[in-house]
Amino acid sequence: MRALVLATHAPPAAAVTVVATLLAVAAALPAGRVVLVGLAVLAGQASIGWSNDWLDADRDRAVARADKPVVQGAVDPAVLRGAALAAAAAAVVLSLLLGPVPGALLLVLVASGWAYNAGLKRTVLSGVPYVTGFGALPAGVVAAAPGSPVAPWWLPAAGAALGAAAHLANVAPDIADDLATGVRGLPHRLGARRSAVVGALLLGGASLVLVLGPAGPPEWWGWAGLVLALPAVVVAALAGTPRFRRLAFPAVLLLTVLDVVLLVLGGAALT
């Protein structure tokens, strides 16, 4: 069981689930639909994590990825395959219970994650699943509110930028292992240093969109978000150096969660 939990890529899966649930609260969804959003996103994230470790089992063994349960022998790839398919089916059912529009938007994230794992990660289009998936996520959560409202433009725009920054930061520690096994996504083609700079710009840009996008002058939560963004942007910019390489992705995740917490506390109008 512990190996299965680890194979979900638990920290990012938990972070994305928390973000979606908090956005549901900010969008004033009824309590039952807030729980349904959280469960749908959690199932989708679990399916993405399990499919990643299942599909990459041979590659992870080739580079001796000691952090992977399948490399440790703690779980069989066939078990991961079954779990991934079952979680994907659960995500489909749970998402569509919210309605066709929010369900379809939430499933864009699931489909994007599977497309990345299935081969897009090896191409110059490796960032596309992150942009589409995390752009669609907040739109799907907002559409789950009564009346299926359309999310304000700045919310999916910030989500897409954060997703792209997360992709660049997530790949940074594994560039050498990836290249050794034939993976040449966008970060690998840009190189570690240029990826770090682009990721930092995207992270800063997402924070500015969240602050300046809503109508009227920036609220207190917006200024607080910018203050919190500064150290995360610096860490992301330094992701091209060995010392900060493994800190960039957690920094992006933490900033994203904090930004959404501030949205909730500030009562930002999402619908």
How high is the pLDDT of residue 93? 98
Burial label, 70 (beta-carbon count in 10 A; 0-12, 13-18, 19+): buried
- Which helix (DSSP H) or strand (DSSP E) does residue 6 occupy? helix 2-7
Contact predicate 263/24, CB 8 Å: no
CA distances, 245 to each of 68, 165, 237, 238 (Å): 18, 13, 10, 7
Domain count, the chain: 1
**Which residues form the domain of 65?**
2-266
How high is the pLDDT of residue 142? 96
Q: Alpha-carbon distance 250 to 253, whole Å?
A: 5
How high is the pLDDT of residue 60? 83
Q: Which residues of the chain have pLDDT under 50?
A: none
Spatial CA neighbour of 172 closest among 235, 266, 88, 100: 235
| pTM higher than 0.85 | yes
Q: Alpha-carbon distance 29 to 31, whole Å?
A: 6
Quote the DSSP letter at residue 174. Answer: G
Q: Residue 179 falls within a domain, yes or no?
A: yes
Q: Alpha-carbon distance 106 to 139, whole Å?
A: 8
Q: Residue 271 falls within a domain, yes or no?
A: no
How high is the pLDDT of residue 265? 78
Spatial CA neighbour of 125 closest among 184, 170, 169: 184
Distance from the Cα of residue 267 to its chain's centroid: 23
CA distances, 120 to each of 21, 161, 226, 235 (Å): 28, 18, 32, 27
CB neighbourhood size of 182 (10 A): 9
